[in-house]
Chains A and B, each alone.
Chain A
Amino acid sequence: MQLDKKRSIRQALALATCGVLAHGPLLLPVSLQAADLSWKADMTTLRYAENGRVSVSEHIASFRREVGEDEWVSLKFSWDAITGASANGAIFNPPQSGSSQTVTSPSGISRTYQTGQGQTVDPLTTFKDTRVAAQVSNGQFLTPTLKGEVVGNLSFENDYDSYGIGGNLSWDILQRMTTLTGGLSLDLDKVKPFDGNPKEFESIGTTTPIRLGQGEKRTIQSIIGFSQVINRKTLTQLNYSLTLNDGYLTDPYKFITVVDPALGAPTDYLYEKRPTSRVRNAIFWNTAHHFTEDVVHFSYRYYWDDWGVRSHTSDLRYRLMLWRGHSLQTSFRYYTQMAADFYQYSLPGQPLPSSFASADYRLGHLITQSTGIKYSIHMGQQVEFSLRADITEQSDADNLFPSLGITLFQATISISDRVDYAQSGRAPP
C-alpha cells in the first residue's frame, strides 16, 4: 500500500464501520418500552404516643414511576388520626387556702380547676382529628446534568386545610463532584377551629366570646444549597433555607395564664397572641460517610428567626451492616432551643394590646433528646423492610413544666421494580 493510503486506512475503516454498525455500540439511542420503565413503592405505618398525652397513628403510601426517558411521576397519600390531649399553656398552683377546688395537677386524675371567678379550665386540650393528605410530583432531567421537579400538596383535617405548590432544581457541575440545589414553595393554609378563631388576649371564661372566623396563613419557603463529593466514600451537603410566614400564626387552642404576683395564684386565662409575620432561617450541614461496610450520617442545623427562637439540632446515625441484607441503625438526636421573645410562662397582669405573648411550650426553652434503633432487612434486591423504635424526651430547660416522654414505632416497606441506585431514572454516570 502506498504511504499516503496507509494514513487514511484507519479513517476509511471507521467510515466503513459506520455502515455495518448503524449507530455504533456506544451511540445507540435508548427507546424505552413500557416494560423497561421502572417504578418504586413505599409504604409506612407508624404509632406515635406521648406519655399521657397525644397519640397519633399515621399511614403513608407513595408510588413513583418513570414515564419516559429521564422523566418520572410520583404520588403520595397520607392518612393520620390524632387522639389525646396536649398541654395548652394554662398553669395553676395549688391554692393556699379557701375556695372550692378540685384536684389540681396537669397529669392528675381529675383535670379541672376552678378559679375564684368560677372559671373552669382544663390544662390539657383534647384533640380528636383525622387528616388526609396527597402529594403529586413530576420530575425530569432537563439536560443530562440538570434535574427539575414540580410538586403539589393538599392536606385536609377537621380544623385545618393546606394547599401548596413548589419546585426544585438540581444541577451537577464540576464533573458531577458538586451539585447545586435550589427550591421554592408556596403554601396557603386555612386555620379553622370549630367555632372560629378566638380573639387574642380575650379571657377564655368570658360570657360573650368574640369569634373571628377562619384564619389564613401564607408561607413562602426557599432553599439553596450544594452537595459535594469529598472522596469515594464521603458526601457532604450544606443548605440555607429561608421561610416566610404571614397571616394567622397564633395557635387557637393555646392559652396564657395571668398570675397575680402577690398571691402567686392564677387569676385569668387568656387566648395567646403571636405576631402576624415570621422570618425563619436555617443553615443545615449534612454528611454521609461509608466505612468498609457501615455507613454513618451526621447532620447539624442552626436555626434562628425574628421571634427570637434559636435552636441547634444535631443528629447522628450509624448503620451497622450485619449478615446478608440485614442492618441495624442506631440514631441520636439532640435538640436545644432558646425561647421566643414573647414566650412567657405566665403574665403578671393584663397584657398590653400591642404586645405578644404565648405560653406554648413549643416556643419555649427546650431540650429534646431522642434515641432510636431501626432494623432493616433486604429481601432480594428489590424489597426492603424495616422496623424502627424511637424514644424521645422533651424537657423544659427552665424546669417550669414537666418533661414529656414520646415513643414512636414505625414499620416501612419499600418495593422497587429494579435495583434503583440513586432514586433517579438514570443509571450511575
Chain B
Amino acid sequence: MKTIFILLFAILLTGCMTPIRPWERDLLAQQKMQLIPDPMQSEVSEKIAYSKEGSTGGLGVGGGGCGCN
C-alpha cells in the first residue's frame, strides 16, 4: 500500500512540473492513446474476467450485471 502512495506522489509531482501546451496534445488526442483505446474489447475482456475469476472493479462502474456461469 505504501508503495502505491509513493507512486501516486511521484506521478503528481512530475505532472505538476511543466504543463504541456494545447498544441502538444496531438498524440494524447489519438484514439490509440486513450486509457481505454478499444471499449468493445475492454468490455468483453472485463465480462469474461468477471465470470471466470473472483475479482471485480478498478475500471469503471455501471456496466450491467449478468448471471455469468
Cα distance, A125 to B67, chains bound together (Å):
14
Whether, in the assembled complex, A371 has its beta carbon less than 8 Å from a beta carbon of chain B, the answer is: no
Known contacts A229-B15, A335-B53; is-contact A168 B61 (Cβ 8 Å): yes
Whether, in the assembled complex, A38 has its beta carbon less than 8 Å from a beta carbon of chain B, the answer is: no
Cα distance, A253 to B68, chains bound together (Å):
11
Contact yes or no, A155 B65, CB < 8 A: yes
Known contacts A153-B63, A155-B65, A174-B19; is-contact A285 B7 (Cβ 8 Å): yes
Contact yes or no, B11 A243, CB < 8 A: no
| Prevailing SS type, chain B contact patch | loop
How does the 8 Å CB contact mask read for B27-69 relative to A, with 1 for contact and 0 for none?
A: 1111111110111110110001100111111111111111101
Contact yes or no, B11 A223, CB < 8 A: no
Shortest CB–CB separation between residue B54 and chain A, in angstroms? 5
* Contact with A177, one of B20, B38, B41, B49 (Cβ below 8 angstroms): B20
Contacts of A217 in B (CB 8 A): 65
Contact yes or no, B61 A286, CB < 8 A: no
Binds B, one of A42-50, A91-99, A109-117, A261-269: A42-50
Whether, in the assembled complex, B2 has its beta carbon less than 8 Å from a beta carbon of chain A, the answer is: no
Cα distance, A154 to B15, chains bound together (Å):
39
* Contact with A412, one of B24, B41, B62 (Cβ below 8 angstroms): B41
Closest B residue to A360 by beta carbon equals B54
Contact yes or no, A283 B64, CB < 8 A: no
Cα distance, A363 to B51, chains bound together (Å):
11
Closest B residue to A223 by beta carbon equals B61
Contact yes or no, B56 A410, CB < 8 A: no
Q: How many residues of B contact A (CB 8 A)?
A: 50
Shortest CB–CB separation between residue A266 and chain B, in angstroms? 22
Known contacts A303-B55, A337-B55; is-contact A135 B64 (Cβ 8 Å): yes
How does the 8 Å CB contact mask read for B8-28 relative to A, with 1 for contact and 0 for none?
A: 100110111011101011111
A394-416 contacts to B (CB < 8 Å): 394, 406, 408, 410, 412, 414
Contact yes or no, B25 A428, CB < 8 A: yes
Whether, in the assembled complex, A256 has its beta carbon less than 8 Å from a beta carbon of chain B, the answer is: no
Contact yes or no, B64 A290, CB < 8 A: no
Whether, in the assembled complex, A246 has its beta carbon less than 8 Å from a beta carbon of chain B, the answer is: no
Shortest CB–CB separation between residue B43 and chain A, in angstroms? 7
Shortest CB–CB separation between residue B39 and chain A, in angstroms? 7
* Contact with A157, one of B40, B61, B62, B66 (Cβ below 8 angstroms): B66
Contact yes or no, A410 B35, CB < 8 A: no
Contact yes or no, A295 B22, CB < 8 A: no
Contact yes or no, A303 B56, CB < 8 A: yes
User: Which residue, A131, A165, A238, A288, has most C-beta atoms of chain B within 10 A?
Assistant: A288
Contact yes or no, B20 A295, CB < 8 A: no
Contact yes or no, B16 A235, CB < 8 A: no
Whether, in the assembled complex, A375 has its beta carbon less than 8 Å from a beta carbon of chain B, the answer is: no
* Contact with B61, one of A82, A86, A183 (Cβ below 8 angstroms): A183
Whether, in the assembled complex, B4 has its beta carbon less than 8 Å from a beta carbon of chain A, the answer is: yes
Cα distance, A255 to B33, chains bound together (Å):
45
Whether, in the assembled complex, A133 has its beta carbon less than 8 Å from a beta carbon of chain B, the answer is: yes
Known contacts A233-B27, A394-B52; is-contact A60 B61 (Cβ 8 Å): no
Contact yes or no, B15 A177, CB < 8 A: yes
* Contact with A283, one of B4, B49, B62, B67 (Cβ below 8 angstroms): B4
User: Which residue, B26, B28, B37, has most C-beta atoms of chain A within 10 A?
Assistant: B28
Contact yes or no, B40 A168, CB < 8 A: no
How does the 8 Å CB contact mask read for A143-173 relative to B, with 1 for contact and 0 for none?
A: 0000000010111010110101111100000
Known contacts A155-B64, A229-B20, A235-B33; is-contact A44 B8 (Cβ 8 Å): no
Q: Sample 26 A-B pairs with CB under 8 A, ordered by A number.
A: A131-B66, A155-B66, A157-B67, A162-B65, A162-B66, A168-B61, A177-B15, A177-B20, A183-B61, A217-B65, A223-B61, A230-B14, A232-B20, A238-B4, A239-B58, A241-B57, A241-B58, A242-B57, A285-B7, A290-B28, A307-B54, A327-B32, A337-B53, A366-B54, A388-B41, A420-B31
**Chain A positions near chain B (C-beta within 8 angstroms):** 42, 44, 46, 48, 54, 58, 60, 62, 82, 86, 125, 127, 131, 133, 135, 151, 153-155, 157, 159-160, 162, 164-168, 174-175, 177-178, 183-185, 187, 189, 191, 217, 219, 221-223, 227-233, 235-239, 241-243, 251, 253, 280-286, 288, 290, 295, 297, 301-303, 305, 307, 309, 311, 313, 319, 327, 335, 337, 340, 362-363, 366, 368, 374, 386, 388, 394, 406, 408, 410, 412, 414, 420-423, 428-429
Closest 10 CB pairs of A and B: A166-B62, A160-B67, A284-B58, A162-B65, A185-B62, A153-B64, A241-B57, A282-B57, A421-B29, A185-B61
